[in-house]
Amino acid sequence: MKITDLKIFVVGNPPPHFGGRYWVFIKLTTDGGVRGYGEVYSVPFHPNVVVRMIEDVCERHVIGADPFKIERLWRTIYSSGYTQRTDVSIMGILSAVEMACWDIIGKEVDRPIYDLLGGQIHERLRSYTYIYPQPSDPGDVYSDPDLAAERASQYAAQGFTAVKFDPVGPYTVFDPRQLSLEALDRSEQFVKRIREAVGNRCDLLFGTHGQMTAAGAIRLARRLEPYDPLWFEEPVPPDNVPEMARVARATSIPIATGERLATKYEFARVLREQAASILQMALGRVGGILEAKKIAGMAEAHYTQIAPHLYCGPIEGAANIQLDTCSPNFLIQESIQTWGEFHSEILDQPVQWEDGYIIPPTRPGLGVELNEAVAEAHPYDGAELHLEMSGTPADT
């Protein structure tokens, strides 16, 4: 079996853009007509540039390759151009290629991917959602603790057993920083109000985006501890693992991190330093499904759990579900609300979500197919990137 064709889809995610402004999908097709889908996560260039990067990688290394030879293809792309080190651009492309190869393999042998990586453990997968704004909101759910608490209660009524929120304030290119007293007070009020609203029906996931220095994160953590959050996410930027470990040692709240990391090598540093007890790999960046499975195995040996990140399209989401289903140390999966609206429309069949849990698919491969007609009907024509940081230093 050989890969003979590549097709790329750059899809504009309609408003309100939950999951990012656009998604980049690939389709690989074999000489036997088997097709596999993958998703590139948040390469820091305009998608028009990313398309050419994907084409170059696939022309050099993928077309003509055997999709069953995952390790050989992974090492070849990872080492391209004598880099052989973690780079989120090449890793995003490699992740999509690897994901598509697994989709092909699963379809060829007529099994879900999780059956090829140890077999199904979990019959259903606990999920959480961010607290997202709604058009009818009377205020800003990101800065109004009472509104956030009301929305959290609504998610709990839907069946969610965990909700995530980031009230710290903007993340900027000048982070990390010390938070103002106003930001500390607002963050504490968010946790207090949401805990009062949901009681013990929901875990509270305190999401941040690396805004704080270690000293600032420790100050905030002490305010949050009385409300027992399940985690404190990426309290410092991801490039200084010892400082994250300093936060972990100073608080009883579990530290979660990983959405901006790639490969087993970067996650190994987190585990060696005991910087986090929950790993949030993004499968469209980390190196694909097998690389994530290796990281999950490393984490298992450290009594560390996985909670894969999802702020992208549903092809990466489907890959997450395959990993979760066969991983003993799976904790919880990020969902974008209930996997509905455009996240459902762009698939041939929506991800099954029931009462706060994802039901793993039994179809072969990833278990979902991209609706190519929908993808092609929603091209991205904007100039902005998938996610962007503020260019102005924060004053809170």
Q: Give the three-state DSSP class for 337.
A: coil
- Which listed residue (17, 61, 122, 209) is catalytic? 209
Q: Where are any strands of DSSP class E within 70-169?
A: 125-130, 162-165
Spell out the residues 6+ positions from residue 222 whose beta carbon is closer than 8 angstroms to its own: 251
The enclosing H or E element of 24 equals strand 22-30
Q: Are 129 and 164 in contact (CB under 8 A)?
A: yes
209 assigned to active site: yes
Tokens of 361: 């698919």
- Which listed residue (122, 309, 378, 386) is catalytic? 309
Residue 174: phi, psi to the nearest 5? -100, 5
309 assigned to active site: yes
Residues paired with 125 in a beta bridge: 358
Q: Are 345 and 84 in contact (CB under 8 A)?
A: no
Q: Are 98 and 291 in contact (CB under 8 A)?
A: yes
Spell out the residues 6+ positions from residue 146 whose beta carbon is closer than 8 angstroms to its own: 193
> How distant, in Å, are the alpha carbons of 132, 150, 195, 308, 366 from that of 137?
10, 11, 20, 29, 36
Spell out the residues 6+ positions from residue 188 whose beta carbon is closer than 8 angstroms to its own: 223, 224
- Would you please indicate which residues are annotated as catalytic (active-site) residues? 209, 309
